[in-house]
Amino acid sequence: MVKGKQMTVSWHVDDLKVSHINPKEIDHFVKWVQETYGSISEVKSTRRKIHDYLGMKLDFSIDGHVTIDMKDYVTTIIESFPKDVLIKGNVGSPWTDSLFKVNQKSKLLDKSKSEQFHTTTAQALFLCKQGRPDISPAVSFFTTRVKASTEEDWSKHVRMMQYLRQSRNDVLTLKADDSILQ
């Protein structure tokens, strides 16, 4: 993305997204994909400024901007999480100062909670890497705890989920300008 230059061309091919400022470059790439893989499976592609791609809504409608909207994905994560623990009050952030402190005496989670912890951590890992970097510190901690999750880990996990419930409509917007890095 370069501010002031038209970034109108995006091509979405199955699970591949290609963008380039010059539409002819994308035409060449699509032709190569069709020649290389067209005999294996039909190659379908679309050109537009808004794409649904791997749980993300990528919006290139404004020059020099891309908005990464994962609201539907967040809703899916929230809906698969036990509702009774998410009814508590609001939280100001997805973690507290004690996030990386581990109580060695905390009891291991039962099988059901442990599986939920693992699943939600995997979902949150994808989420934070794509469109919600605000939960990255919490997720980085949880990924170290999935093999032996404890009740203390669970309470920290619930806090992150409460935060996601509250902020489910947040989106990430990346902007480019004409500045040059020195």
**Sequence-ordered alpha helix ranges (H) in 3-110:** 23-37, 71-79
Q: Are residues 81 and 149 in the same domain?
A: yes
Q: Within this chain, do residues 82 and 134 fall inside the same structural domain, yes or no?
A: yes
Q: What is the pLDDT of residues 142-162, one digit of tens each?
A: 999 999 999 999 999 999 999
Let me know whether 57 and 85 are in one domain. Answer: no
> The tokens of 25 are what?
């470059």
Same domain, 21 and 46: yes
- Judge whether 5 lies within some domain: no
Q: Is residue 44 a part of any domain in this protein?
A: yes
Residue 80 — pLDDT band, cuts 50, 70, 90?
very high
137 vs 13: which has the higher pLDDT: 137
Instruction: Please list the alpha-helical segments (H only) found in 38-144.
Output: 71-79, 111-130, 136-143
pLDDT band at 16 (very low <50, low <70, confident <90, very high): confident
- Each residue's pLDDT tens digit, 107-117: 999 999 999 99
Side-chain half-sphere exposure of 119, counting CA atoms within 13 A: 13
Model pLDDT for residues 32-43, shown as the tens digit of each residue: 988 888 888 777
Residue 57, domain member (yes or no): yes
| Phi, psi (rounded to 5 degrees) for 173 | -120, 125
Q: Based on the domain organization, do 84 and 152 belong to the same domain?
A: yes
Looking at the chain, the whole-number percentage of residues with pLDDT higher than 90 is 59
Question: Considering the domain boundaries, does residue 182 fall inside one?
Answer: no
Residue 1 within a domain: no
126 and 43 together in one domain: no
Distance, in Å, from the CA atom of 121 to the CA atom of 142, rounded to the nearest integer, reads 6
* Rounded average pLDDT over 62-70: 92
- pLDDT of the residue at 13: 43
CA atoms of 104 and 7, how far apart (whole Å): 52
Q: What is the pLDDT of residue 42?
A: 77
Residues 129 and 87 in one domain: yes
The overall average pLDDT reported for the chain is: 87
Whole-angstrom Cα distance, residue 70 to residue 21?
Answer: 25
Average pLDDT over residues 93-106: 96
Question: Within this chain, do residues 20 and 33 fall inside the same structural domain, yes or no?
Answer: yes
Domain span at residue 95 reads: 71-166
Total domains in the fold of the chain: 2
Strand partners, 59: 50, 67
Q: What pLDDT, on a 0 to 100 scale, did the predictor assign at position 40?
A: 80
Higher pLDDT, 41 or 130: 130
Q: Is residue 2 part of a domain?
A: no
This prediction has a pTM of 0.80
| Rounded CA separation 77/90 (Å) | 18
